[in-house]
Structure 1
Amino acid sequence: MVADLKGNRISWLGHAAFKITTPSNKVILIDPFLTHNPATPAEAKKQDQVDLILVTHGHGDHTEDVVSLAKAHNAEVVTIVELAAWFGSKGVENAVGMNKGGSYTSQGITVHMTHALHTGGVGEGNDFPYTGDAAGFVIDLEHGLSVYHAGDTAPFMDMQLIKELYAPELAMLPIGDFYTMGPKGAAISARMLGVKYVIPMHFGTFPILVGTPAQLREAMHKINLDNVEVIEMKPGETIG
């Protein structure tokens, strides 16, 4: 099985950071942690075009480059309301603060903010201010492709509602364990979501993130999900 991205292209930039390029050449970044990300290839640490930035929650390994990229490209930043206010205080002019259950359309792309089981706070020195709940996004792209970026999360039963409400075809799921769910949790999440494709993320960046795509495939096999394709990407790789 080969993923049909309907003209969209998806690049994994390492960790939970992704770049999506639409058929009309709109560039979406998700959780851009690039500068100090040991998994991000050198050529991907700088971006020539950014139109929309989606941020799942306020931890440095998801937010590091948001402010600099938003300012450099006059990009719109969409995130939960408290974190949007924090970005605004740092000089981001186009920060949109929404909340879970809501939808927002920009530049022909609709995003739906979903639940996630995690925390959120942006560290500055010894201060770690709360910046709203962690979230995920379902992204309705051009030509009918629906993609779910789970953010940092454990499995939760309401993933079944994400399936019912938005029916994503492809899910980007964390598998690293320790800070998020591991491979077994991601397999169960894929079953609840009813997706065709899974891109594993948030693994291997640091030694403590021990989950692997091979373990995900094994966990999926044990629950009879062999019909779901695991798309194992290398940082810097593009599909579509």
Structure 2
Amino acid sequence: MTRKPVVGVVGHGYRVPKPFGDLPVTGTPPTYVDAITAAGGRPLILPPRHAPELLDLVDALVLTGGGDVDPARYGGSGPAEDVDPQRDEEEIAVVHAAAADRVPLLGVCRGMQILAVAFGGTLRGGLEHRLPVDGHEVRTAPGSLIADLLGPVAQTSALHRQAVLDPGPSWTATAWSHDGTTEALEPTTTGWSVLGVQWHPELHAHELLTDPTGPALFGWLVGQARVLTA
């Protein structure tokens, strides 16, 4: 029997209130687990601090959404909310390790921003792209991977305050929303299967919040992982 590819989800820290005080835990929203499973992969949540040394256990990676990236990471300023400098540091280390090992990677929302910042890109804050139900349209660059997966125009979710300002030398912007906000990043060189999207494809099967791009994007990631297990 062919082994299903293992897709690691880089977890992050939460604090769960308990009668004896806050309990620190590491986890991820179940929507990522469900999306990977639906695409034919086997999800595995990785503790972020140890994820770089655990990449030999997985065939692909997902960097999830979350709070804003600390502007100090990219020499920026301006508004930022729910900042966690330790998470920034840990996830940037994961990106560098994944790049070195050529582990296929999908960066979701904050995850795309981390891809940019990890290789010298910058962000801008203060956006109000928070349209969880209706979302918005994005247009894709002809000939790009994201265009191959979604077509020239796609309806996507929108739940972010930050966005990529300058992708840096390692990335090319390949999708944009109506106001010019960068909505997808792809590498400028070949050899690493990696894609960043500013929206939330994992919401495809959510009971209330939907995103039609989920099957195509997670299907792509699992397909890239499957190449490694063949």
Alignment TM-score, normalising by the size of structure 2: 0.34
The structure that is helix-richer by fraction is 2
The structure that is strand-richer by fraction is 2
Higher RCO (CA 8 Å, separation ≥ 6 residues): 2
